[in-house]
Chains A and B, each alone.
Chain A
C-alpha cells in the first residue's frame, strides 16, 4: 500500500513561477518529513525537512507547508529556475530501528524559459 501519496506526477512551470508539489500520508506515527531532489544520473539528495510540530519551514526559495490535521504537506519552490528541473520525492519517517523512510512516487519538474 502507498503510505505516502504524492502529486502531481509531472509538472511544467515557467521560469519565475511557483512550483507546488503535494503529499498526503496516513500513518500518524510519522514524525519527520523530508523532501529529496534528484537530478538525472544522480542519487536523491536531501533538500529540506520538517517536523510535525512546525507548520512551515523555509530555506531560500524552498518552503515546506505542513498541515497536521489534514495529514498533508507540500513543497513550494518560489521563483522557479531551469536549474530546479529535477525529480522531487517527499518522504516520511517513523522514529525507530534505523528510522527508515517511506517515499512518495516522485514528481518530475520541468522549468521552462
Chain B
C-alpha cells in the first residue's frame, strides 16, 4: 500500500511564526497535493506539484508556499502564521495524469495558530 506520512499530527504555533509542514510518500508518485480541511468548506487545494521542483497554485495559495526538492517529499510553508490558518492540513499523492487510482491521503496535521 502507498503510504503518505505527515510529520506531525498536532502543531501549535504562535502568530507570525514560520511554519513547515512535511509530507513524504513512499510509492514514487509524480503528483503531490496540499489541502486544508475546514468544517462546512470541505477540502480546498492550496498547492500541488506534478514533478520535482514544479509547483502550481491551487484555489487558496495566499499566505502559503511549497517546496519539492525530492520526488518523495512535499513541504508546505506558512510564511507568517495567522490565526485564520488554524485548520486541518492534508497531504495527498497520486500516480500520474490519467490514473484511476485516485489520491492517497496522509492522516493530516491539525495546526492551531495562537
- B-contacting residues of A (Cβ < 8 Å)? 6, 9, 32, 34, 36, 41-46, 49, 89, 95-106
Q: A46-B102, A103-B43, A105-B40 are in contact. Are A97 and B97 (CB under 8 A)?
A: yes
| Chain A contact residues: helix, strand, loop or mixed | mixed
Tell me whether B107 is interfacial, beta carbon within 8 Å: yes
Contacts of B90 in A (CB 8 A): 43-44
Q: List 11 A-B contacts (CB under 8 A).
A: A32-B100, A43-B90, A44-B105, A89-B42, A89-B43, A99-B94, A99-B98, A100-B48, A103-B35, A104-B42, A106-B43
Total contacts A-B at CB 8 Å: 69
CB distance from B78 to the nearest CB of A (A): 20
Q: What is the interface of chain B mostly: helix, strand, loop, or mixed?
A: strand
Interface size class of B (residues with CB under 8 A): 20 to 34
Q: Is the CB of B101 within 8 A of A100?
A: no
Report B-chain residues with C-beta under 8 Å of the C-beta of A41: 107
With A42-B108, A46-B102 already in contact, 8 other A-B pairs whose C-beta atoms are closer than 8 Å? A32-B100, A36-B103, A44-B43, A49-B102, A97-B56, A98-B30, A98-B48, A99-B97
